[in-house]
Amino acid sequence: MRKNRFSEAKERVLSPVIGKHVFGNLYDVEESYLKDLELVKRTITEAASVGNMHIVDVLARQFDSLDSPDIGGVSVIALILESHVSIHTWPEAKYMTVDIYSCGKDSRPGVAFDYILSVFKPKYYKMYTADRSYTKPRTN
């Protein structure tokens, strides 16, 4: 028996929600990388691609430094079909944060995070993961 469109939609709504969250801090990153808005935008785009995520839009902003007349850090946020990828940088501290959250069944946020590490080459980093999935609780 063939399912109708309502049945198919209802099954999708009742299916588990997948939530993969990978985030972290990168320390002792080359200061010039952290000021390079185009590099950060390109890196987010490539990270989403290698992580099997699909970009909808990218918002990017370069900030003035608070401590000097120099160029400050950048924030780049990619809205992806599956959720978001973001990078925020503080060149004066040689520090950046990365946040990758995806509800895509086939997405690989850990692979995307590793790609970002390969580009920015921090001296050390901290990476965290969280399973933010949801399955409808069973009722008796």
Tell me the CATH number at 84: 3.60.90.10
Q: Establish if 139 belongs to a structural domain.
A: no
Token pair for 108 = 């690989």
Is residue 137, in this structure, part of any structural domain at all? Answer: no
Answer yes or no: is 7 within a domain.
no
6 within a domain of the structure (yes/no): no
> Does residue 8 lie in a domain region?
no
The catalytic residue among 83, 84, 107, 118 is 83
**Given this model, what pLDDT does residue 16 score?**
77
Sheet arrangement for strand 55-64: 55-64, 71-80, 83-90, 95-102, 20-27, 124-131
Q: Is residue 2 part of a domain?
A: no
Q: pTM of the entire structure?
A: 0.83
65, 103, 118, 133: which is the annotated catalytic residue?
Answer: 103
The torsion angles phi and psi of 86, rounded to 5 degrees, stand at: -140, 150
Q: What is the pLDDT of residue 8?
A: 47
Q: In terms of residue numbers, what domain contains 83?
A: 17-131
Task: Select which of 54, 86, 88, 107 is catalytic.
Answer: 88
Structure confidence at residue 103 (pLDDT): 92
Cβ neighbours around 25 below 10 Å, total? 14
Region at 77 (left for phi over 0; alpha for psi -120 to 50; beta for the rest): beta
- Write out the H or E segment, with its range, that includes residue 10: helix 5-14
Q: Which of 3-17, 52-66, 111-125 has the highest mean pLDDT?
A: 111-125
Average pLDDT of every residue of the chain = 88
Separate counts of helices (H) and strands (E) for the chain: 4, 6
Decide if 83 is catalytic. Answer: yes
Domain count, the chain: 1
Residue 3 inside a domain? The answer is: no
Does the active-site annotation cover 118?
no
Q: What is the mean pLDDT of residues 78-106?
A: 96
Q: Is residue 140 part of a domain?
A: no
Q: What does the alpha-carbon distance between residue 58 and residue 74 come to, in Å, rounded to a whole number?
A: 13
pLDDT at position 4: 52
Give me the helix-helix angle, 37-50 and 109-120, nearest 10°. Answer: 150
pLDDT band at 9 (very low <50, low <70, confident <90, very high): very low
Question: Catalytic site residue 75?
Answer: no
**pLDDT tens digit sequence for 10-31:** 444 455 789 999 999 999 999 9
